[in-house]
Amino acid sequence: AQKITQTQPGMFVQEKEAVTLDCTYDTSDPSYGLFWYKQPSSGEMIFLIYQGSYDQQNATEGRYSLNFQKARKSANLVISASQLGDSAMYFCAMREGPAGGTSYGKLTFGQGTILTVHP
Amino acid sequence: GAGVSQSPSNKVTEKGKDVELRCDPISGHTALYWYRQSLGQGLEFLIYFQGNSAPDKSGLPSDRFSAERTGGSVSTLTIQRTQQEDSAVYLCASSLGRGKNTIYFGEGSWLTVV
């Protein structure tokens, strides 16, 4: 089974509207971390937001928030007030095991969602 | 520098030749990672360094791939006897280390094997 599934190959949103990018994950490890990255056409991976499996509240970073539903194993990214500069590929990723464990550096990535923001 | 620096940014090499890709992490970051991204694909983990040691080499696709890190800073990924399927973007990332969750990526080295 895929560890990280992003079911939306492409998404379109109007400027200034909110958009949700879906991510579901599969793990039997009780300790894990979930990441979202943005990859513009330049190729650089830009860290957006992190959610730990034991975090009680949903993570937020500016216009980005993570809708973490642990029982459903979903970690959707919500971008509020979309901007033209948000057009990019977005990747969801997971690290299994505790932050201090030997698997710390190994992120498993989804296939990505291409977001296009229309003016 | 301010971010993770990788060189070369682009490399075209002939099949069978060896290539070296370099990564200079963010100053003070003890953890360093190498990933590979093939065209239109997600990222594939290759190797992880904590300091100069590599606790996890499980992602290296074959024994033609090796990586080292010296002085707890710069890392070199070496691909020997390159094959066309090695063509990809090789991304390096770094973080402050265990317990720190923000992992910063460089812009990658685009490798084309012809």
Q: Count CA atoms closer than 13 A to A84's CA, side-chain side.
A: 2
Q: Which of A9-23, A40-54, A70-84 has the lowest mean pLDDT?
A: A40-54
For residue A1, pLDDT over 80 is answered with no
Query: What's the pLDDT at B53?
Result: 85
The dihedrals phi and psi of B82, each to the nearest 5 degrees, come to -55, 145
Query: What's the pLDDT at B95?
Result: 86
What gap in Å lies between CA A4 and CA B6, rounded to an integer?
A: 27
What gap in Å lies between CA A70 and CA A67, rounded to an integer?
A: 10
What gap in Å lies between CA B58 and CA B70, rounded to an integer?
A: 20
Query: What's the pLDDT at A106?
Result: 80
B96 contact A CB<8A: no
Q: Which residue has the higher pLDDT, B74 or A2?
A: B74
For residue A21, pLDDT over 70 is answered with yes
Chain B residue closest to A101 (CA)?
B98
Which of B26, B29, B43 is best to mutate for the A interface (most A CBs within 10 A)?
Answer: B43
Cα-based torsion angle of the residue sequence B13, B17, B18, B24 in order, rounded to the nearest 10 degrees: -10
B28 Cα to chain A: minimum distance (Å): 16
Q: Is A85 helix (H, G, I), strand (E, B) or coil?
A: helix
Q: Which residue has the higher pLDDT, A35 or B39?
A: A35
What are the distances in angstroms from CA B55 to CA A79, A106, B48, B59?
A: 36, 10, 7, 11
Pairing of strands A32-39, A88-96: antiparallel
B42–A111 C-beta distance less than 8 A: yes
Q: Which residue has the higher pLDDT, A56 or B97?
A: A56
What are the distances in angstroms from CA B99 to CA A32, A33, A67, B44?
A: 12, 11, 23, 22
Positions in chain B whose pLDDT score sits under 70? 1, 40-41, 97-101
Which residues from A are below 8 Å from B when comparing CB atoms?
4, 33, 35, 37, 42-47, 50, 52, 91, 93, 99-112
Percent of chain A with pLDDT over 70: 92
Chain A residue closest to B93 (CA)?
A45
For residue A99, pLDDT over 70 is answered with no
Query: What's the pLDDT at B31?
Result: 87
Q: Which of A34-43, A52-61, B48-57, B65-74 has the lowest mean pLDDT?
A: B48-57
Query: What's the pLDDT at A49?
Result: 93
Of A47, A102, A112, which is closest to B104 when you measure between CB atoms? A47
What gap in Å lies between CA A94 and CA B108, rounded to an integer?
A: 21
Query: What's the pLDDT at B100?
Result: 55
A35–B108 C-beta distance less than 8 A: no
Query: What's the pLDDT at B56?
Result: 79
Q: How many CB pairs under 8 A join A and B?
A: 71
B100–A47 C-beta distance less than 8 A: no
Of A42, A103, A110, which is closest to B42 when you measure between CB atoms? A110
Percent of chain A with pLDDT over 90: 77
B61 Cα to chain A: minimum distance (Å): 15
Per-residue confidence band for A17, with pLDDT thresholds at 50, 70 and 90: very high
